[in-house]
Amino acid sequence: LWIQLDSNAELYFKVKFGKKISSLAGKVVWITGASSGLGRSLAILLASHGIKLVLSARRVDELNKVQQNCLNAARGQLQVKDILVLRMDVLEINKHEELLEIVIKNFGHLDILVSNAGRSLRADWVNIDLDVDKAVFDLDVFCPVHLARIVIRYFLKNKIDGHIAVTSSSSSLTPTPNMSSYIAAKSAINAYFHALNMDYPQIKTTIYCIGPFFSKIQEEAFTGRLGEKYGVSINSINTLQRMSPERSAFLFAVAIANEISMCWAGLYPFNFMVYLKNYPSLYNIAVNIFNWRDCIAKH
Of these residues, 182, 192, 208, 230, which one is catalytic? Answer: 182
| Cβ contact 186:169 at 8 Å | yes
Interatomic CA distance for residues 32 and 147, integer angstroms: 10
Query: Could you confirm whether 182 is annotated as catalytic?
Result: yes
Interatomic CA distance for residues 63 and 46, integer angstroms: 15
CA distances from 7 to 117, 184, 264, 293 (A): 22, 22, 6, 22
Q: Within 13 Å of residue 254, how many CA atoms lie on the same side as its CB?
A: 20
Which one-letter DSSP state was computed for residue 7? Answer: B
Q: Which of 95, 92, 46, 49 is nearest to 66 (CA)?
A: 46
> Cβ contacts of residue 230 below 8 Å, gap of 6+?
121, 122, 218, 219, 220, 221, 222, 223
> Cβ contacts of residue 127 below 8 Å, gap of 6+?
224
Active site residues: 182
